[in-house]
Structure 1
C-alpha cells in the first residue's frame, strides 16, 4: 500500500487534495453486492462499502506502522477525512439546539479523533459502531458544559434525551406535536418530569429582557413582565379601617377624618370643633387605642 499526498493533472497542473489509495487493487476485498446493484453512498458521494473497506485497510496499515513513523500522521489524517460524514450524521441529531452546525461538527470531529486513537480492529467491531457513541458523547458534553446558560441537573439532562426521542417518534406516529400526557405515557414517567425536561431543553440560550420580540408586535420581554403593586398590601388594611370607622360615633369619626385624611393639626381640629386642644388629644389617643385593638366603640 502506498500513501499519495499529491497528484497533478496534465490539463491544469493544479494539485488535488491529499488522498490515500491502495497500491494494488487486486488485493482489495471484493465489493459487496451483486453487479449492477446500486450502492449506498455517503454525503460525500463515496460508496458506504468503499468507506468501510478503506477504513479497515487504513487501520490495518496504522497497526503495522511504528509509533514514531512519519507515515502514521498521514494515515490518521486520511481516516479522519473519510469518516467525517459519520460526524455530520451524528451532528444532525442536534440540529434543533440553535447552535451552528459547523460548530457541532467540529466538536464531533474531536470525538472522531479520540475514537480513531482508541479503536482496536482486533476486537471484531466495525469502526462506525465503535465511533458513533464516542462522537455523540463528545457533542453532548459540549452542550452540557459550554452551551447551557443555566445549570441543569444531570438527571434531567439524561432524561431529556429520552423525552426528545419520544417526541420525534410520537410526532411521526400521530402527524402532530405530542402532548405532555402522551410523552409521559410513552416513557412511563410522571408528567411533572416531562415538563421539567421541556423546561431544561429550552435552557440553552438566554433571551435579553430588552430585545424586541417579533411575534409580540415588537414588544420587549421587559415590557410584558408583571410587577408587584406596592399598594396591594394596603387594600386589606383600608378595608379593615373602613369597617372600624363606621362603628365610631359621628364626632370621633370626624376627628379621625380631619386628622388623618385632611391632615389638620390638633390645634386646627380644636378650632374646627370648638373644643380645647387637650380634649382633642385625649380623644385621638382613645380612638386610636380602640382602632388598634379592633374593638367597637363604646361610650
Structure 2
C-alpha cells in the first residue's frame, strides 16, 4: 500500500480551516498542483514520470481512504480494500490526461470505486451469485446506511429499490444473497441454545442412508476381486433379480454351473468383506 513520503511534504496543499469555502479553496489549490505535476510528467522521462505521478498519488491518499470507507467490509478485510483503493488511485493518476480534462477527482473517484467493486466481486464471495446481483449487493449497504440516517429506522426493501432505481424483486434478492459473502462455521453455537449445541447438530441426519452408502462402497471394493463375467452374474442375480435359470440362459451355461459360480463368488466376497480395513 502506498504511504505518504516525507520528501513530498513541502509540495502538499496547506491545511485550512474546515469551512466549506476554505475546503473548496484547498481542493482547487490541490487540483491546480496536480495539473501542474501531471503536465510536467508528460514531458519527463520514465523515471521522472513515475516520481511526479507518485507525488500526485500522495496528495490524494485521503480521497482513496474516503472511498474505501464507504464499503462495509469485515474488519480483517478493511486494510485490503484500502490497498485496492490506493491501487485504483495510482491507475487514475497514470491514465489522466491534463490536456483532455482539468479535474482529477471526477476522474479518480469512479476509477477507485471500480477497482474496489471488482476486488469485492472477485474475492469476497464464498457462494457466487450472478454478477448483476453481486454488484447490486455491494451498493445496498451504503444506500441502507444513508436511508437509516434519514428515516431513523431500518429502510424497507421498497425504499431501497426506489433509491437504487431497480426492480423490487431484484433488490430483495440482492439483500438476501449478501449473506453469501461470509461463511459460518458448522461449529458455531446456536443462539439461545445450550453451549454444546452447534449448527452441525441442527443438520438432518439419517443413519440408514449413511450406512447404505458405506456398505455400497465397501461392496464395490470387494467386487474388484471378481472377473468381469463374475460381476455380470452378481449384477443379474442381485440387481436385476433374475433366477438361476434365467441367468443360465443369459450366460449360455447350465443352472448347475450358475449355482456353483454363485456359491464360489459369495464365499470370496465374504472373505474380502471380512478382510476390508474400512470395515474394521
Other-structure match for 1:157: 134
Deviation (angstroms), 1:198: 1.0
CA 1:217–1:127 in structure 2 vs 1: closer, same or farther (change >3 Å)? farther
In 2, distance between residues paired with 1:203 and 1:178? 21
Computed over aligned residues only, the root mean square deviation of the Cα atoms, in angstroms, reads 3.5
CA 1:216–1:147 in structure 2 vs 1: closer, same or farther (change >3 Å)? farther
Other-structure match for 1:180: 157
In 2, distance between residues paired with 1:215 and 1:139? 37
CA 1:84–1:216 in structure 2 vs 1: closer, same or farther (change >3 Å)? farther
- CA displacement 1:112-141 (0-9 Å, x = unmatched): 111111110111340011011111111111
CA 1:207–1:77 in structure 2 vs 1: closer, same or farther (change >3 Å)? same
In 1, distance between residues paired with 2:8 and 2:177? 44
Q: Which has the higher helix share?
A: 2
Q: Larger deviation: 152-161 or 218-227?
A: 218-227
Deviation (angstroms), 1:194: 2.5
Deviation (angstroms), 1:186: 5.0
Q: Which runs of no fewer than 5 residues in structure 1 stay unpaired?
A: 1-15, 23-27, 231-299
Using structure 2 for the length normalisation, give the TM-score.
Answer: 0.60
In 1, distance between residues paired with 2:118 and 2:63? 18
Using structure 1 for the length normalisation, give the TM-score.
Answer: 0.56
Higher relative contact order (CA 8 A, sep 6+): 2
In 2, distance between residues paired with 1:91 and 1:128? 15
Question: How many residues are matched?
Answer: 200
CA 1:185–1:133 in structure 2 vs 1: closer, same or farther (change >3 Å)? closer
Contact 1:97 1:204 in 2 (8 A): no
Higher Cα radius of gyration: 1
CA 1:141–1:188 in structure 2 vs 1: closer, same or farther (change >3 Å)? closer
- CA displacement 1:60-117 (0-9 Å, x = unmatched): 2212213x3x322221221121111111011011134555322111111111111111
Other-structure match for 1:65: 44
Other-structure match for 2:105: 128
In 2, distance between residues paired with 1:37 and 1:179? 33
- CA displacement 1:174-220 (0-9 Å, x = unmatched): 10111234334555655432331012222222111113367766442
Structure 2 residue 204 is matched with structure 1 residue 221: no
Deviation (angstroms), 1:18: 1.6
